Amino acid sequence: MYHKTIYCALLLTLAFTAGCANDPYTTITIVRHAEKIADGSKDPSLTNQGNARALALRDKYTNTPISAVYSTSTNRTKQTAMPLAIANGLTVTSYSTPEEVATAIISKHAGEHVAVVGHSNTVGDIILALGAQIPEGLTHPMDESDYDNLVIVLINNNGLATATHSTYGKVSP
């Protein structure tokens, strides 16, 4: 009986360990907030097109478990992040600076997939703060009319980071 108890405890420990950060990479998806209303305010909401892009981000990751979603405290970033967070049973975690979000991801989410919503002038800084180089095809800062960029940063177990660039949703003009 004693050996069975030890064996069961060992199996449970292995199963728990295998389920925690067993991915050899931390994966970070970084996007700029979606299209915003041009109303002259400092904190505009998303346009209908922006809401559609936020849903496109959610839909892109339908079969990918996301363990955390970060955004700044502005309406446009939170509204971009919200559908993805809700689809994964999460709340959106606010951050203030690229360095702050990078530190949180590296310290809390090893081996997980995390999403970050930033701004045209911060996406590149987030990539750099995570230790990667700005990938070919991405300008930093982004043009004000550029909303379809999606960057994946992979950080391996040794802390080496690489970034790749793609797009999502409807193509920006």
Instruction: Show pLDDT as tens, one digit a residue, over the chain (173 residues).
Output: 434 333 333 333 333 333 344 678 999 999 999 999 999 999 999 999 999 999 999 999 999 999 999 999 999 999 999 999 999 999 999 999 999 999 999 999 999 999 999 999 999 999 999 999 999 999 999 999 999 999 999 999 999 999 999 999 999 87
pLDDT score, position 22: 60
Contact predicate 75/89, CB 8 Å:
no
Residue 4 belongs to a domain: no
pLDDT score, position 65: 95
CATH of the domain at 158: 3.40.50.1240
Residue 12 belongs to a domain: no
Separation between Cα atoms, residue 57 and residue 34, nearest integer Å: 10
Helices 48-60 and 75-87, packing angle to 10 deg: 40
Contact predicate 50/35, CB 8 Å:
yes
Q: Which residue has the tokens 């109303």?
A: 39
pLDDT score, position 6: 35
Residue 15 belongs to a domain: no
Q: What is the tally of structural domains in the chain?
A: 1
Residue 143 belongs to a domain: yes
Residue 3 belongs to a domain: no
pLDDT score, position 90: 98
Tokens matching residue 76: 């446009």
pLDDT score, position 4: 39
Q: Which residue has the tokens 């920006």?
A: 172
Residue 14 belongs to a domain: no
pLDDT score, position 37: 97
pLDDT score, position 23: 73
pLDDT score, position 173: 79
Structural domain including 59 reads: 23-167
Q: Which residues contact 97 (CB under 8 A, 6 or more apart)?
A: none
Q: Which residues contact 73 (CB under 8 A, 6 or more apart)?
A: 94, 96
Residue 33 belongs to a domain: yes
